[in-house]
Chains A and B, each alone.
Chain A
Amino acid sequence: MRPFKYTGANSPSDALKLLIKNPNARFLAGGTNLIDLMKEDVERPDELIDLTRLDSTSFSKISFGVNTAGVSLGATGKNTDAAHHPEIRQNFPILTKAILAGASAQIRNMATNGGNLLQRTRCSYFYDTAMACNKRSPGSGCAAMEGINRMHAIFGWSENCVAVYPSDMAVALSALDARIKVMQADGNVRSIPIHDFHRLPGDHPEKDNNLNRTELITSIEIPTNKFAAHSAYVKVRDRNSYAFALVSVAAGLVLEGNKILSAHIAMGGVAHKPWRALKAEALLKGKIASTANFTAAAQAEMTEAKPLSHNKFKVALGRNTIVSALEIALRGAESPI
């Protein structure tokens, strides 16, 4: 870890001003990702601008019906508080489940909603500064491409990077069609659909998302949904808790009797961003909710998968996990924890 300066911001615009002043400054939220990466010498800011002093403002609160009929999660609100909020448990249970499927209770108590969206990949070559990694140092190569890539992408990767984006929360946000509200340097606000927030690696794997350096996430806006009673988050991992997903699926079904009016499916652990299973969704629309239809839709979604040398299993696992999540969603009314 390199020496750095610690600065506290008093307001979101103050935070942005401080950031603009120093090109090597970074925002600090819960620090559960950024500090780890600094210890590993992967991130090397010389100044941290602490956002968590803004706790008392709307920046950290959960509020309902602000701009949409849904919920707004303040950027510095803690993951734990979002997960356990009674109205979120009731109306957005996949969000609760997804957050609680991630990390550990201690980390979730520190981790913020904004920080969670911006957590970086867990590719072990990215973390190891002795290894070639285009995401860490553009142009150096990708050690994972021909390496131990069991945890890596099967969709949307490029020759430059095969990493996956690790957040569980964001997978649920994708299924929920959330929007990310952002404050810009001039104080203007823009709102980015979650689907456009994270990027595929393409030629610029160093860019995880479409947030500009001088932008600050202020909140996550989630619209109401009609599938709270029929939703599921299934995370398959190497141990039952405190492990990143091999594959995860957030699924919601809007049903009319036995008929699927619409399906909302997003996958984690398979791409550089939450992977919205649009093909499967399209196939399920208007169909009867049955194992056979679930399987056919899941199968169709996986046909375009391009697995790497160590992660061929993710194709079958992805299919099975979609089916599993849809089955649980169909059964419905499962308690979020």
Chain B
Amino acid sequence: MEEKNKSIGKAVNRIDGILKITGKATYATDYPIKNMAFAVIFKSTIASGTIVNLDTTSAEQANGVLAVITHKNAPRLNEKGGIRGGALLQSPEILFYGQHIGVVVAETFEQARHAAHLIKVDYQKKEGKTDFEKLATSAGAPRGKELADLIRGDALGMLDTSAVKLEEVYETPIEHHHPMEPHSTIAVWEGDKVVLYNGSQIINGAQAAAAETLNLKPEQVRIVSPFIGGGFGSKGGQWANLILTAVAAKVVSRPVKLALTRQQMFNSVGLRQQNIQRISLGASKDGKLISLVHETTTQTAIDSEFLEPCGDCSKVMYEVPNALISYKVAPMHMMLPTYTRGPGKSTGSFALESAMDELAYKLQMDPIELRIKNEPQKDPSNGKPWSSRKTVECLREGAKAFGWANRKVVPGSNRVGDDLIGYGVACGTYPARQRDSSAVIKLTKSGENVFAIVEIAASDLGTGTNTILAQTAADGLGIPLVHVTVKLGDSDLPPAAGSVGSVGAASFANAVNDACTKITDELLARSAKQFFIRPTAYQLIVSENIKNYQTRVDAKAPKEAEQYSAHSFNANFAEVRVNALTGMVKVTRFLAVTGAGKILNPKTARSQIIGGNVWGIGMALSEESVMDPRWGNFATRSFGDYHVPANLDVGKLDAIFINEEDKIPNKMGVKGIGEVGIVGVAAAIANAIFNATGKRIRKLPITPDKLI
């Protein structure tokens, strides 16, 4: 195919863009199913204890109510079936504040919501573990092996003898994913099979967990999720609301819709945990790192462990001969934490990259030069060579594009009126991986045109997966983009990995690409003709006059990839204005320079990066879920007090991709950009605020009160 006709690498518009802006895209609750009933969940108002009495009489008698389901009458479920966060109504025991304790099903949503208010609950309270500040002091080692201590050399010993030392504590609060589309489900039983319309980042994972939990076989559960209104990790695993919808539909023998409210989202579908990170750096006078200690103290649910790996960036970012990376965790009566965009990396990089900035200031070095000075030639955590690493290029090119040379070295010295202006830089990284995925391609000839249907149980979070798969197929088959239809988001399709951990594009696109190669190979083998240049599938179908043809591929990551360390890397540049009197911060400019291998679609890729940057701005400046330590409830209960950035908080954003050819992680050379866009952002902003004001804020979010 001629380069100019290729679709991959072009800033193609989303193929489902029109559907979305005209409201025709069907999100989970958008299916007009007949005879639907509506369910509303109600929740515990204690964090620890037992329900001793649950009076549902008036709710049951309220207008329109079809059923009230609680632990007393819920069907037995398999609590180890892979649903995260418990709350499946299997016992009267309460393990966190806001645990689901029942579901009301009624003819209308309003009737169900009203009846939910009529339920009376008596508890036997137990003293809850809800005060993280206190519990942190007695936190212990995590149970999970993947977060065992990383010990290299003698980090503590060498720290003591280093010429320049720094030891600081960095804190990040609980954050919530809060996708625009709250978690919601429609469940429709057809005999002993159930169809679940439900936003799912991992289609087959949701299917498996739902089936196991409901004591069904996977083939008895179908997940339908062609469009997802965001997830950011919270729709990676599935939560009790999915199952409770299926249970409710079973109980009332009707299709049931259940959507969580924004308030309920605070304690239903995971969260990013609060972290206390202690970083110690030891360096020589000329800025060579000698020792790095990164100790994270964090929290988890009382009965289940999840930790985000805050030390991950510290493992790979810099050449440092002595390192100690460790974790402590305090189990609490709280909602189970879960994967949250850039898990561990976004929070960990805030600590590490703030500390690097502090070290640069101590050394009187440019923070960019300090980073370049400690650039590792291979992965320091395992000695493997990089598949590719363009951190230095990111830093250099970013510095030029951003005008880093205009930065005033002395903090607080750039003042215009009441505003203090500052520049900051920070790096970030995220691993690049391909996961097993299958795909089917079906070709149909119609006149001189060949139409393709691509089938894969991939998911599109709203990121543009649909579009890049259509581009991949168009190029792989030699047909125009508009002749490709992508079917995804359905567990009836060939199984695939999920849109999680930045593996989506690499896993799905390689599967589709492999399927294109395979279909071309098969068609070529069938043909008696001789070709000097490898023909496209399109040419073969047309020249052989084949009406229909299809093939399936089960794609796997290349074995050689394991010999290498593969990551995306970035450098983030922030310009802030801080009002000297009021402490209000505005990020006036932000630039992310990213090396992420092959960029399949610069437009959707840019949206991914700047979207990550915007959340990073929220993380740096405003987002915080405040838990009341007395009771374990959230004092932040709505978007009125959980402050995601508004338009006025976001200045000019820019994204640059470094040209990077790297076929090691996968054949298409795709490294993934879903997460890396948020990694390093908060640190770049905190560093800019230091440069602007001379104030080093080590506790996020950096609200006005911390700056006056």
**Interface of A toward B, CB cutoff 8 Å:** 1-3, 39-41, 122, 124-125, 127-128, 130-131, 143, 146-148, 150-151, 234, 236-244, 246, 313-314, 316-317, 320-321, 323-324, 327
How far, in whole Å, are A111 and B520 apart by their CA atoms in the complex? 62
Which residue of the partner chain A has the closest CB to B705?
A313
Are B581 and A321 interface neighbours, CB within 8 A?
yes
Q: 8 Å CB contacts to A: which residues of B591-637?
A: 621-622, 626, 628, 630, 633, 635-637
27 inter-chain pairs at a CB distance below 8 angstroms, sorted by A residue, are: A1-B114, A2-B114, A2-B117, A3-B110, A3-B114, A39-B113, A41-B117, A124-B637, A127-B637, A130-B45, A143-B628, A147-B635, A148-B635, A234-B582, A238-B621, A238-B643, A238-B701, A239-B622, A239-B646, A241-B647, A241-B648, A243-B646, A246-B705, A313-B708, A317-B582, A323-B581, A327-B581
How far, in whole Å, are A314 and B582 apart by their CA atoms in the complex? 11
Are A317 and B583 interface neighbours, CB within 8 A?
yes
Extra inter-chain contacts (16) besides given A41-B117, A150-B705, A241-B646, CB under 8 Å: A2-B114, A2-B117, A124-B636, A124-B641, A147-B628, A151-B641, A236-B583, A239-B621, A240-B646, A240-B649, A243-B643, A244-B640, A246-B705, A313-B705, A314-B705, A320-B581
Q: 8 Å CB contacts to A: which residues of B653-705?
A: 701, 703-705
Q: 8 Å CB contacts to A: which residues of B392-436?
A: 418
How far, in whole Å, are A242 and B645 apart by their CA atoms in the complex? 9
**Interface of B toward A, CB cutoff 8 Å:** 45, 63, 110, 113-114, 117, 263, 418, 579, 581-584, 586, 621-622, 626, 628, 630, 633, 635-638, 640-641, 643, 645-649, 701, 703-705, 708
How far, in whole Å, are A84 and B327 apart by their CA atoms in the complex? 55
In the complex, which residues of chain A have a beta carbon less than 8 angstroms from the beta carbon of B628?
A: 143, 147-148
Are B114 and A324 interface neighbours, CB within 8 A?
no
A contact patch SS? loop
How far, in whole Å, are A9 and B637 apart by their CA atoms in the complex? 34
The residue in A39, A148, A239, A316 that gathers the most chain B C-beta atoms within 10 A of its C-beta is: A239
Nearest Cβ on chain A to B707's Cβ, whole angstroms: 10
How far, in whole Å, are A240 and B705 apart by their CA atoms in the complex? 14
How far, in whole Å, are A3 and B635 apart by their CA atoms in the complex? 28
B contact patch SS? loop
How far, in whole Å, are A150 and B641 apart by their CA atoms in the complex? 12
Which residue of the partner chain A has the closest CB to B584?
A236
How far, in whole Å, are A316 and B705 apart by their CA atoms in the complex? 9
B586 touches which one: A2, A234, A240 (CB < 8 A)? A240
In the complex, which residues of chain A have a beta carbon less than 8 angstroms from the beta carbon of B645?
A: 239
In the complex, which residues of chain B have a beta carbon less than 8 angstroms from the beta carbon of A327?
A: 418, 581
Are B648 and A320 interface neighbours, CB within 8 A?
no
Which residue of the partner chain B has the closest CB to A317?
B708
Are A240 and B708 interface neighbours, CB within 8 A?
no
Are B581 and A324 interface neighbours, CB within 8 A?
yes
A317-B704 contact in complex given A147-B630, A239-B622, C-beta closer than 8 Å: yes
Nearest Cβ on chain A to B304's Cβ, whole angstroms: 24
How far, in whole Å, are A237 and B110 apart by their CA atoms in the complex? 34
Are A128 and B633 interface neighbours, CB within 8 A?
yes
Q: Please name the 9 residue pairs, one residue from A and one from B, whose CB atoms are nearest each other, closest first.
A: A240-B648, A130-B45, A313-B705, A148-B635, A241-B648, A324-B581, A320-B581, A241-B646, A236-B582
Nearest Cβ on chain B to A280's Cβ, whole angstroms: 15
How far, in whole Å, are A236 and B584 apart by their CA atoms in the complex? 7
